[in-house]
């Protein structure tokens, strides 16, 4: 029962804080706070420049492969489990998927900057 009351109080408190943080900045709108700041100078151009789609795709690909490699890092410590052959098979499947994903990205020319 104490856990349920604690969960309810924490949920209500978090909801109140989120609502206050959302509505409070909308009460006082300052033009200076919403303008971009560039070392005290007036901005020469737009602060919202277009983003390179190639850079975005390479960054997302890097993040995906980096996270999947991070899954493989604790394998030496996990090899002391009761079924190391199952662990070896699953890590082989993961490495195969990583290799196929890299080959697909390479064939689709997703890793090249220029065409």
Q: 82: domain CATH number?
A: 1.20.58.1610
Within a domain: residue 39?
Answer: yes
Within a domain: residue 114?
Answer: no
One-letter-per-residue 3-state SS of the chain: CHHHHHHHHHHHHHHHHHHHHHHHHHHCCCHHHHCCCECCECCCCCCCCCCCHHHHHHHHHHHHHHHHHHHHCCHHHHCCCCCHHHHHHHHHHHHHHHHHHHHHHHHCCCCCCCC
pTM: 0.50
Number of domains in the chain: 1
Give pLDDT tens digits for 15-73: 999 999 888 877 777 666 666 665 666 666 666 677 777 788 888 888 888 888 888 88
């Amino acid at each position: 029962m104490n856990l349920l009351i604690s969960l309810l109080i924490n949920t209500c408190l978090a909801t109140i804080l989120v609502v206050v943080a959302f509505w409070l900045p909308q009460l006082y709108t300052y033009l200076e706070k919403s303008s971009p700041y560039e070392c005290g100078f007036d901005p020469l151009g737009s602060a919202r420049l277009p983003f390179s789609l190639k850079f975005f795709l390479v960054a997302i690909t890097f993040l995906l492969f980096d996270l999947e490699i991070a899954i493989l890092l604790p394998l030496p410590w996990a090899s002391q489990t009761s079924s190391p052959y199952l662990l070896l098979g699953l890590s082989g499947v993961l490495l195969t998927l990583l290799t196929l994903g890299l080959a697909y990205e390479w064939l689709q020319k997703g890793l090249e900057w220029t065409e």
